[in-house]
Amino acid sequence: MSKENNETDVAKDPGSLSNRPTSETDVEGHRVFHGYGVHVPGSGVRRRPGSGGTADRVHFILGEDDTEGGHESHPLFSEMAELVSNNEEMEWRETARWIKFEEDVEEGGNRWSKPHVGTISLHSLFELRSCILNGTVLLDLEASSLDQIA
């Protein structure tokens, strides 16, 4: 055999030469017949109607619809103060606040840090869960000093 013959000889499928009639049961098992998974070049991307961004999908999963007019979020401000001693005098000093993101008081105590997303360690979450499940939680206790709580 010459080198040219090897390049032009191609293995042919003998089944492709036979004309076998196809029935509906033969075609039903093929996904291409139904049009699933077929990409036609040049057809572009077709989006499902109403499929917006990720936020829309999350709202859909959570069952929150804008058309219902039900829940509307309001801005929330919370702050954390620590009881510190200052020359034998105790005072509450604001150390962190949350408007949309967390802000902390920087070292000098005069400036707030840049807003950032607060994080918590997995160990702390497990410890909190353990305290809630096994510990004593006093939510309706009236007290004005630490001695009354302890």
Q: Is the pLDDT of residue 127 over 50?
A: yes
120 in a structural domain: yes
Tokens of 78: 């919370």
Confidence of residue 141 (pLDDT cuts 50, 70, 90): confident
Confidence of residue 145 (pLDDT cuts 50, 70, 90): confident
pLDDT at residue 77 in the model? 85
Q: Is the pLDDT of residue 45 over 90?
A: no
Count of domains observed in the chain: 1
Confidence of residue 33 (pLDDT cuts 50, 70, 90): very low
CB 65 within 8 A of CB 59: yes
Higher confidence at residue 122 or residue 107? 122
133 in a structural domain: yes
CB 105 within 8 A of CB 112: yes
Q: For residue 105, which of 117, 93, 119 has the smallest C-alpha distance?
A: 93
Helix H segments across the chain? 3-8, 14-17, 24-28, 31-34, 54-62, 122-134, 146-149
Domain that holds residue 105: 78-149
